Amino acid sequence: MTPDAAAPAGDGAPTQLQWLRRQLRELGARPAHEHRVLRLWSQALPQDSGRRRLEDFMPARLRSALPQITATLASLARLHSRHPSQDGGERLLLNLFDGQTVESVLLPRGGLCVSSQVGCAVGCGFCMTGQGGLLRQLGSAEIVAQVALARTLRPVHKVVFMGMGEPAHNLDNVFDAIELLGTAGNVGHKNLVFSTVGDRRAFERLAQGVVRPALALSLHSVSAERRAALLPRAPRIDPAELLELGEVYARATGYPVQVQWALLDGVNDGPDEIDGLVRLLRGKYAVLNLIPYNNVDGLPFRRPPAERSAQMARTLHQRGVLTKLRQSAAQDVEGGCGQLRARHAAGAPLYWAPRTQPVAGSAA
């Protein structure tokens, strides 16, 4: 088993995790063995851990292949560098087996934000990842590998799909990873957060899932025109319809929909947006997360003054919208999604170097 063999699947081909399961079965694994290998990997535990000796219950062929399987899985995502933040979060830059890089973010209080694609096709004007387009999909094992790697650094109880990429554009791999994380990976279903700009295929898939994650919708504007300008290649779903679809799923699962709003100075922080949010969200099973924008060099958007953001949150709350004013985690270290990767890819100096911990053996 080699990393090349575990390359992300194309349309119709088995996902990486399906391929891995097939390999395990060919080595003689029964379902309990397969579950054990995936459980220990996704929970960052050694394959020989546990009280029972492997030779007492595991087929010899599978046992002898375990070192190679372990090496292959470890090669799916390797730590390039760590970038701790003052808020307790930490950005991780990861090398994939083919030399591509992605970011994960360790969040305070046991969360992890994972990437689902290298790059992104949605092209949000305020996002560094969106500027370079989509380079490739992440395979389902590469998504789980981000969790396995993070768990070697600290416990992870919650996984949010809010890193690089649009999860709805990589549904097979994302849902394959969610299913593993919500079973063998021991992450509570409501602690898996599927985030999307909105795509009807994603709602169909959410309704069918064995593991039903919580849902986050990246809204950013209640105006269809403004939203289309900010998120130029997001599916054209009217904001009212999008929130209605989210409401149906939230009621079905019992987890409120999380409405994400990157707060952009002079763009989506005015009275028209506040009125629209009250109209669309009051009485809904939803939480609105206002996230003041983290300025990105070269992009024309700015973070609103702190008092205006706080006032907007207060006003919405007073008018019946459950609103939280949040800061994105680890934002003092290239806080916008994709900034760390972009700087690395451009070969630019990492100006946060004093807080950076290069990993032994990395190219940093």
Residue nearest to ligand SF4 as judged by C-beta position: 130
Binding letters toward ligand SF4, positions 178-197, x by CB under 6 A: -------------------x
Q: Which one-letter amino acid corresponds to residue 105?
A: V
| 138 binding ligand SF4? (CB under 6 A) | no
Question: Which 8-state DSSP code applies to residue 138?
Answer: P
Type of residue at 46: P
CB of residue 124 to ligand SF4, shortest distance in Å: 3
Chain-centroid distance of CA 114 in Å reads 3
Give the DSSP H/E element, type plus range, for residue 20.
helix 16-26
If binding is defined by CB under 6 A, does position 337 make contact with ligand SF4?
A: yes
User: Can you give the length of the chain in residues?
Assistant: 364
Q: Is 124 in the site for ligand SF4 (CB under 6 A)?
A: yes
CA distance 54 to 41: 15
Residue of 103, 142, 179, 247 marked catalytic: 103
Q: Look up residue 161 and give its two tokens.
A: 């799909």
> In Å, how far from its chain's centre is CA 293?
18
Nearest to 42 by CA among 92, 99, 112: 112
Q: Which stretch binds ligand SF4 (CB under 6 A): 126-134, 221-229, 268-276, 340-348?
A: 126-134
Considering the complex, what minimum distance in angstroms separates the CB of residue 219 from ligand SF4? Answer: 12
| Given 38, 65, 93, 120, the residue binding ligand SF4 (CB under 6 A) | 120
Closest CB to ligand SF4 among residues 38, 216: 216
130 counts as binding ligand SF4 under rule CB under 6 A: yes
What are the distances in angstroms from CA 117 to CA 96, 97, 194? 11, 14, 14
337 assigned to active site:
yes
Q: State which residue, 34 or 269, has the beta carbon closest to ligand SF4.
A: 269
Closer to ligand SF4 by Cβ: residue 291 or 350: 291
Separation of CA 307 from chain center? 30
- Three-state DSSP class for 274? helix
Judged by the rule CB under 6 A, the positions of this chain that interact with ligand SF4 are 120, 122-124, 127, 129-130, 164-166, 197, 337
Catalytic residues: 103, 337
